[in-house]
Chains A and B, each alone.
Chain A
């Protein structure tokens, strides 16, 4: 490969264009940087558009062909929405970020774009790790001790996922001799679980926050800056969703994992006081829907899963943005300290409502036109319990994201705060997201045209009487439940979640059970961690005793000792040679 073709390889990769833009931002003042970022995004989008479907940038490394850019229906959908999200985020905090954040705001999505476009495992792995490393700057951005530590934990988990991925890649390469990233499938023809696939499955699972592997989301995301959290919420989990859709479509295990994912965050979200944290639980729940769709794996369900990912990125960002705007003006995102903001932030409130209606899948909003595909998929595959779970989870979404977020921020008890309306940049970004959310809801055909399985979507009609009635029934009952709970004061009130009222504990056993489970797992974890860290310290102490500067293995030994070793090794080799 000549130098010029290598250069061509770089120029023809949208992710590299974005990354170059990100690097340029490090050395430019903040307003100029925002401009550069927007220009890089536009350039990358044009590049993508002009390239069209196909495979580009193939290189030969170690005798293996690597495809650095693969644009097909699946990856195209994700890159398009990634570009939309990047642009929205740049506008949202126009000129309001420091250099490290500017770099990460573009560099981290660039890595996600690169990962989605990767046609082979090696390219995927490289972008996978770059995404991990660039994103941690967003966690570190507030610059406090707590964020530093959280960032390190985040980085450790992300890098672990990368290491697993690399291990899996090596194993797969040994088995198949190919580095092409295509359908892997968890089981082989006999139905036995493939070890190589399992390792990669775990790597993807960590990034998509499977239950029990999910804690890094709630740990790291809410600690970032206002705009940082929004960016983080979009890319890592969706890159993982893409990878699952590519590698593990139709893997039955995913259905159950996804179903659990849709349910368990709801309880946590209901009792959580920090609204940004509520939204991070909602990321888990939303990704759960996509994972179920991927697991079902029929054309319809897959369409639903990736289409839902597309819409989710837009309305989830919108919710994060509106809470971010409130936080920007009031300095807090805690339900206890917010409330009644509708008086002075009416536009933000409207946008927040659009986001809430979309995530709850109200008809004529973006969530409705794609979520139905997943739920129908479960029904058509005759998975009654899964179908029921998804319906229940949909109601739960309404409770914690659809109602709780706008209600406690803009209505509920009056906090007495009278902040100004959100700044223009934020309003523009939220406005675009809101228009997209409604636009897709009313006119979903352009989105449908992008979905990977065109044969299925061609005759799909989202607005049938059955769909609308089913959904409205569900939503209305959920709203009713919320209203009743609020009226009889059974709904978990906004309290700083550390000071829990004990009588609540007895009055609502379900909630108690949740708390108990949470507490028990926390205690188990703490205990295990204590034992582990003691063990690790022990081991490290012992290693130090032997390997440290004064240890036996690191000392400067007298010459006689060295000679002795020589004779020992000689004796060993001699005996071996004689015996062999």
Chain B
């Protein structure tokens, strides 16, 4: 049995085994270095997997050699391979970045626990992505969520409000997970299977109350996890008060994985044969997506706290993804996938820039950003560039996303959605521009707490941050990498959803 045959399980097994060891390491640098090593290994394995899938097609790995549908199956097609690369890639960039930021924000004695939890969180997210088993999704979702609650509460040393935010998230996350598991239970009752490919086959033709309720519970449960407007209320506080590095990691990955699960259920488990799915697209996902795009963006405009502003902007960006996937066309799904990937790049970079500012000024209030261009030029330009990407300026990934979305909305006949996309992008100009103006054109109050001497963030933070910023431009120019993979993945999903075999 060679290692390459076991490749699909590696991104899960490596961190899962390495995480407990973190707790045994001495406090300080060691747990961090261990976590970084682990994230890089996971990333390498994920890249190997996507290469494999790209060349040879879907991988089906049977855990413990128990054949599905009884055994747990890891089923990797291009879509989850893309999400795997995304999650492990963001981890591979954010973990090295985290050291200085975490050192200043968290009690050093907690560092083994912190990095242990961070690794567990990553495992959970990777597990949700990789598995082909509906109940297994629930298990991994809970693994990632529980560690996320712990991670967020560690922000309590800087701001006690982190504790209530983590608690609120805990309650809401648990409600979401419970809804999800209720939904999966209902589907199990109707079909007697938990394997998603098998579910798809056995659900065919079953349009009864049990299946309908299962569908509703799953949509709302996952909707909570991905912060679909108006189920997003837990997110702004959680992102604002979590330790900066945790925010950067979670904002770039957690909601994206939830979007992935939603797509998986919409397009693989259910399909367009179910009238209720089409109705949910038209009357729930599309309007809530658009409402989120506008309302969350407008709220972001008025925020005094930059982290909070970016958190609301995340809710708005989720709206774009929901809009894309609700078109139920290949183009729309491609746009949603591309935006999922691209938004992780821009939000990761933005929250990393905020982390740098917090390290040097001790605050993420917008007043702390005044005049930063002179004191922290590299951080400022990283923020501005990724901000431009968030707006959707050409030559950045944001433009690619918006372009795909515009194309998709016109092709789907939703021409008004195209205008709404442009209109809501204009709101993004306002909230990004507001901070950019503060950073570049204003000076801090000379007697205030933020009139500090010039001091740039350390290299260990600048390099990972700029890696993401450059990725923002690189994938903005070489669109065939993300766009091509996403389009192939979307085509495969569409065949499945329209009733074809995988």
* Mutual binders A and B: yes
Residue from the list A61, A126, A544, A577 in contact with B279, Cβ < 8 A: A577
Interface residues of A in 403-438 (CB under 8 A from B): none
A549 at the interface (CB under 8 A from B): yes
In contact, A572 and B179 (Cβ under 8 angstroms): no
In contact, A556 and B212 (Cβ under 8 angstroms): no
Interface residues of A in 554-571 (CB under 8 A from B): 554, 556-557, 559, 561-563, 565-566, 569-570
In contact, B231 and A554 (Cβ under 8 angstroms): no
In contact, B406 and A573 (Cβ under 8 angstroms): no
B272 at the interface (CB under 8 A from A): no
Residue from the list B231, B236, B298, B407 in contact with A569, Cβ < 8 A: B231
CB-nearest residue of chain A to B233: A562
Residues from chain A with a CB closer than 8 A to the CB of B172 are: 559, 562-563, 566
Residues from chain A with a CB closer than 8 A to the CB of B212 are: 574, 577-578
B276 at the interface (CB under 8 A from A): yes
Task: Name the distance in Å between B305's Cβ and chain A's nearest Cβ.
Answer: 9
A166-181 near B? 1/0 per residue, CB < 8 Å: 1100100010000000
> Given A544-B302, A554-B302, are A570 and B483 also a contact pair (CB < 8 Å)?
no
In contact, A561 and B220 (Cβ under 8 angstroms): no
Residues from chain B with a CB closer than 8 A to the CB of A579 are: 279
In contact, A553 and B175 (Cβ under 8 angstroms): no
B301 at the interface (CB under 8 A from A): yes
Residues from chain B with a CB closer than 8 A to the CB of A346 are: none
In contact, B179 and A570 (Cβ under 8 angstroms): yes
CB-nearest residue of chain B to A129: B394
Which range holds the interface residue count of chain A?
A: 35 or more
Residue from the list A166, A167, A543, A570 in contact with B220, Cβ < 8 A: A570
The CA-CA distance from A87 to B234 in the complex, in Å, is 60
The CA-CA distance from A61 to B403 in the complex, in Å, is 11
B324 at the interface (CB under 8 A from A): no
Task: Name the distance in Å between A16's Cβ and chain B's nearest Cβ.
Answer: 13
> Given A167-B422, A559-B172, A566-B224, are A576 and B284 also a contact pair (CB < 8 Å)?
yes
> Given A573-B284, A576-B279, A580-B279, are A565 and B209 also a contact pair (CB < 8 Å)?
no
A192 at the interface (CB under 8 A from B): no
Residue of A544, A557, A565, A580 with most partner-chain B CB within 10 A: A580
Residues from chain B with a CB closer than 8 A to the CB of A557 are: 233
The CA-CA distance from A534 to B230 in the complex, in Å, is 31
In contact, B175 and A563 (Cβ under 8 angstroms): yes
A23 at the interface (CB under 8 A from B): no
In contact, A565 and B171 (Cβ under 8 angstroms): no
Task: Name the distance in Å between B365's Cβ and chain A's nearest Cβ.
Answer: 12
Residues from chain B with a CB closer than 8 A to the CB of A6 are: 477
> Given A61-B479, A573-B216, A577-B279, are A554 and B223 also a contact pair (CB < 8 Å)?
no
Task: Name the distance in Å between A167's Cβ and chain B's nearest Cβ.
Answer: 7
A62 at the interface (CB under 8 A from B): yes
Interface residues of B in 268-293 (CB under 8 A from A): 275-276, 278-280, 283-284
The CA-CA distance from A547 to B312 in the complex, in Å, is 11
In contact, A562 and B223 (Cβ under 8 angstroms): no
Which range holds the interface residue count of chain B?
A: 35 or more
B377 at the interface (CB under 8 A from A): no
Residue from the list A1, A166, A569, A580 in contact with B275, Cβ < 8 A: A580
Task: Name the distance in Å between A198's Cβ and chain B's nearest Cβ.
Answer: 15
A519 at the interface (CB under 8 A from B): no
Residues from chain B with a CB closer than 8 A to the CB of A543 are: 298
In contact, B410 and A170 (Cβ under 8 angstroms): yes
A163 at the interface (CB under 8 A from B): yes
The CA-CA distance from A580 to B224 in the complex, in Å, is 23
In contact, B231 and A548 (Cβ under 8 angstroms): no
Residues from chain A with a CB closer than 8 A to the CB of B407 are: 62
> Given A174-B410, A554-B299, A562-B233, are A62 and B403 also a contact pair (CB < 8 Å)?
yes
Residues from chain A with a CB closer than 8 A to the CB of B298 are: 543, 547, 553
The CA-CA distance from A563 to B176 in the complex, in Å, is 10
A331 at the interface (CB under 8 A from B): no
Residues from chain B with a CB closer than 8 A to the CB of A167 are: 419, 422
In contact, A1 and B284 (Cβ under 8 angstroms): no
B466 at the interface (CB under 8 A from A): no
B495 at the interface (CB under 8 A from A): no
In contact, B220 and A553 (Cβ under 8 angstroms): no
CB-nearest residue of chain A to B211: A577
Task: Name the distance in Å between A124's Cβ and chain B's nearest Cβ.
Answer: 12
A551 at the interface (CB under 8 A from B): yes
The CA-CA distance from A181 to B363 in the complex, in Å, is 50
CB-nearest residue of chain B to A122: B394
B168 at the interface (CB under 8 A from A): yes
Residue from the list A548, A574, A577 in contact with B302, Cβ < 8 A: A548
B478 at the interface (CB under 8 A from A): yes
The CA-CA distance from A6 to B172 in the complex, in Å, is 49
CB-nearest residue of chain A to B400: A62
Residue of B215, B216, B279 with most partner-chain A CB within 10 A: B216
Residues from chain A with a CB closer than 8 A to the CB of B302 are: 544, 547-549, 551, 554
B237 at the interface (CB under 8 A from A): yes
Residues from chain B with a CB closer than 8 A to the CB of A570 are: 179, 216-217, 220
Residues from chain A with a CB closer than 8 A to the CB of B278 are: 580
B163 at the interface (CB under 8 A from A): no
B136 at the interface (CB under 8 A from A): no
The CA-CA distance from A565 to B171 in the complex, in Å, is 14
In contact, B394 and A547 (Cβ under 8 angstroms): no
Interface residues of B in 427-445 (CB under 8 A from A): none
B107 at the interface (CB under 8 A from A): no
A227-252 near B? 1/0 per residue, CB < 8 Å: 00000000000000000000000000
Interface residues of B in 31-46 (CB under 8 A from A): none
Residues from chain A with a CB closer than 8 A to the CB of B295 are: 547, 553
Interface residues of B in 229-246 (CB under 8 A from A): 230-231, 233-234, 236-237
Residues from chain A with a CB closer than 8 A to the CB of B419 are: 167
A2-16 near B? 1/0 per residue, CB < 8 Å: 000010000000000
Task: Name the distance in Å between B250's Cβ and chain A's nearest Cβ.
Answer: 18
CB-nearest residue of chain A to B303: A549
In contact, A574 and B231 (Cβ under 8 angstroms): no
CB-nearest residue of chain A to B165: A556
Residue from the list B171, B477, B478 in contact with A563, Cβ < 8 A: B171
In contact, B168 and A1 (Cβ under 8 angstroms): no
Residues from chain B with a CB closer than 8 A to the CB of A572 are: 284
> Given A547-B302, A574-B212, are A556 and B237 also a contact pair (CB < 8 Å)?
yes
CB-nearest residue of chain A to B224: A566
B304 at the interface (CB under 8 A from A): yes
Residue of A62, A576, A577 with most partner-chain B CB within 10 A: A577
The CA-CA distance from A553 to B300 in the complex, in Å, is 10
Residues from chain A with a CB closer than 8 A to the CB of B478 are: 1
Residues from chain B with a CB closer than 8 A to the CB of A576 are: 216, 276, 279-280, 283-284
Residue from the list B171, B299, B394 in contact with A553, Cβ < 8 A: B299
The CA-CA distance from A565 to B168 in the complex, in Å, is 14
Task: Name the distance in Å between A572's Cβ and chain B's nearest Cβ.
Answer: 7
> Given A559-B171, A574-B213, are A566 and B231 also a contact pair (CB < 8 Å)?
yes
Task: Name the distance in Å between B100's Cβ and chain A's nearest Cβ.
Answer: 29
B418 at the interface (CB under 8 A from A): yes
| 13 pairs of residues in contact across A and B, judged by CB atoms under 8 Å | A167-B419, A547-B302, A565-B231, A566-B175, A569-B223, A569-B231, A570-B216, A570-B217, A574-B213, A576-B284, A577-B276, A580-B275, A580-B278
Interface set of A (CB-CB < 8 Å, partner B): 1, 6, 61-62, 126, 163, 166-167, 170, 174, 543-544, 547-549, 551, 553-554, 556-557, 559, 561-563, 565-566, 569-570, 572-574, 576-580
Interface set of B (CB-CB < 8 Å, partner A): 168, 171-172, 175-176, 179, 209, 212-213, 215-217, 219-220, 223-224, 230-231, 233-234, 236-237, 275-276, 278-280, 283-284, 295, 298-299, 301-304, 312, 394, 400, 403-404, 406-407, 410-411, 418-419, 422, 477-479, 483
18 other A-B residue contacts (CB within 8 Å) besides A556-B237, A566-B231, A580-B279: A167-B422, A551-B299, A551-B302, A553-B299, A554-B302, A557-B233, A562-B168, A566-B175, A566-B224, A570-B216, A570-B220, A573-B284, A576-B216, A576-B284, A577-B213, A577-B276, A578-B209, A580-B278
